[in-house]
Amino acid sequence: QFEELETFARFGARLDETTRNVIEHGRRIRACLMQPEFAPVSVPTQITVLVALTAGLFDPVPIARMTEAESAVHEAAARIPEELRGRLEGDAVLSDDDRAAVLEIARQALAPFRQTPETQATATTPETAAGATTRRA
């Protein structure tokens, strides 16, 4: 659905705020799902990024800073307490407490990347959005 909306938006259509938000959220998901070749990501780090994405924590991050923001989440996830890391690496369902802990780790890592009103106007221009698509999948 996101890619269809994004394609539709390229034709200069006027979009309502909800549609714009879906497109921006999708761009951030796509940016986070790309990873450098030969650079595997640990399961706890993947879970941290995916939980943060689904919770919308990356949404206030300007597209131009997504790579940097995701790296900050990766670094924070590397410091997850061993007990929580073990549960994340296991095959148990993520508990509400574990999810809250992962969200807090991601929230703290992403705090420096939140858009300000000054950066929001330029954060979603085609030029800045193009920067998110240059990493290899």
Count of positions (residues) in the chain: 137
**Third-level CATH fold of 2-131:** Lysin (1.20.150)
Model confidence over 30-55: pLDDT tens digits? 888 887 788 889 999 999 999 999 99
How would residue 87 be classed by pLDDT, with cut points 50, 70 and 90? very high
In this prediction, residue 128 carries a pLDDT of 40
Model confidence over 52-77: pLDDT tens digits? 999 999 999 999 999 999 999 999 99
Query: What is the pTM assigned to this prediction?
Result: 0.72
Cβ–Cβ under 8 Å, residues 56 and 49 = no
For residue 114, pLDDT beyond 80: yes
Cβ–Cβ under 8 Å, residues 101 and 47 = no
In whole numbers, what is the pLDDT of the chain averaged over residues?
Answer: 81
Q: Is the dihedral of CA 8, 58, 78, 47 positive or negative?
A: negative
Cα torsion 87, 50, 45, 35 to 10°: value is 150
How would residue 9 be classed by pLDDT, with cut points 50, 70 and 90? low
Domain positions in the chain are 2-131
For residue 134, pLDDT beyond 50: no
Residue with tokens 């800073």: 65
How would residue 116 be classed by pLDDT, with cut points 50, 70 and 90? low
In this prediction, residue 31 carries a pLDDT of 84
